[in-house]
Amino acid sequence: MVRLRDVQFSYGPRQVLRGVDLDIPRGKVVAIMGGSGSGKTTLLRMIGGQLRPRSGEVRVCDSLVPELGRRDLYALRRRMGMLFQFGALFTDASVYDNVAFPMREHTDLPESIIHDLVMMKLHAVGLRGAARLKVPELSGGMARRVALARTVALDPQLIMYDEPFTGLDPISLGVIGQLIRRLNDALGASSIVVTHDIQESLQIVDYIYFLSEGRVVAQGTPDEIRASTDPWVHQFVWAEADGPVPFQYPVSKPYAESLLGDAHV
């Protein structure tokens, strides 16, 4: 479904991606993990065509994304769904209208069919009874489920999730995780999950890529990741404060000298 080869990208002089290779097979859920600033969301933006790589290949559904014109890029995006980090719901619209929006925007379906489809999507995320609520009336977990229903409104072939577990309580986190897995399997889609939540992701994904300093530093199945003796993977999976990723930001002066020396940093 998605193939990246030797992808490099920079924001001005700051190089974010340094030769990334990864594959997202059809029908699988794949997690992309790494520390803040490692390039995870940048990868999603390149797959969706918002950003172009400085060099390398970004291929989705056999199309080279950077080479697509406006019309072909929009047609490709019709086959994608995106769950944004904080949902990005329309706060003045009802739950129903939020889910109906992509159907009204991108199809010519009559309102009666849109109604049935919206109810099916809301039922799939357990919120058919909340269809007439306004977004401010929802809890954080409910809002994330509404956003998920909107993400799959057009039955996408590729679903991208940017930090879907952020800010959720343990129950809501578990519900969202299982919905990601079930919806992917029901739609026969491929899913990319950008997340920091290791333990929940290990329960639902088929494969994991770890990014650090713009490179893929480790990859494998959940069982391989759990059993890994690689110091970087071990530190990340078990949330250790120090290791290959140091706790202290690099500094040239010894600590004692910093305390007793010049007051100006």
CA-based torsion, 48, 183, 23, 220: positive or negative: positive
pLDDT number for residue 111: 93
123 within a domain of the structure (yes/no): no
177 within a domain of the structure (yes/no): no
Render pLDDT for 75-107 as a digit per residue (tens, 0 to 9).
Answer: 898 899 988 877 789 889 999 999 999 999 888
Instruction: Give the C-alpha separation, 112 to 107, whole Å.
Output: 13
CATH of the domain at 204: 3.40.50.300
Could you give the 3-state DSSP secondary structure of residue 171?
A: helix
Q: Which residue has the tokens 């400085």?
A: 54
115 within a domain of the structure (yes/no): no
Number of domains making up the chain: 1
260 within a domain of the structure (yes/no): yes
Q: Which residue has the tokens 């809890």?
A: 139
192 within a domain of the structure (yes/no): yes
Instruction: Give the C-alpha separation, 39 to 33, whole Å.
Output: 10
98 within a domain of the structure (yes/no): no
Number of separate helices (H) and strands (E) present in the chain? 10, 10
46 within a domain of the structure (yes/no): yes
pTM of the model: 0.83
What 3 state SS string does 111-169 have? Answer: HHHHHHHHHHHHHHCCCHHHCCCEHHHCCHHHHHHHHHHHHCCCCCCEEEEECCCCCCC
State the pLDDT confidence band at 256, using cuts at 50, 70 and 90.
confident
Provide the residue range defining the domain that includes 29. 1-79+188-265
- State phi, psi for 187 to the nearest 5 degrees: -85, -15
Render pLDDT for 165-197 as a digit per residue (tens, 0 to 9).
Answer: 877 778 888 888 888 898 899 888 999 999 877
202 within a domain of the structure (yes/no): yes
Q: Which residue has the tokens 């129950």?
A: 171
CA-based torsion, 174, 162, 41, 251: positive or negative: negative
Cα distance from N-terminal residue to C-terminal residue, the chain: 50
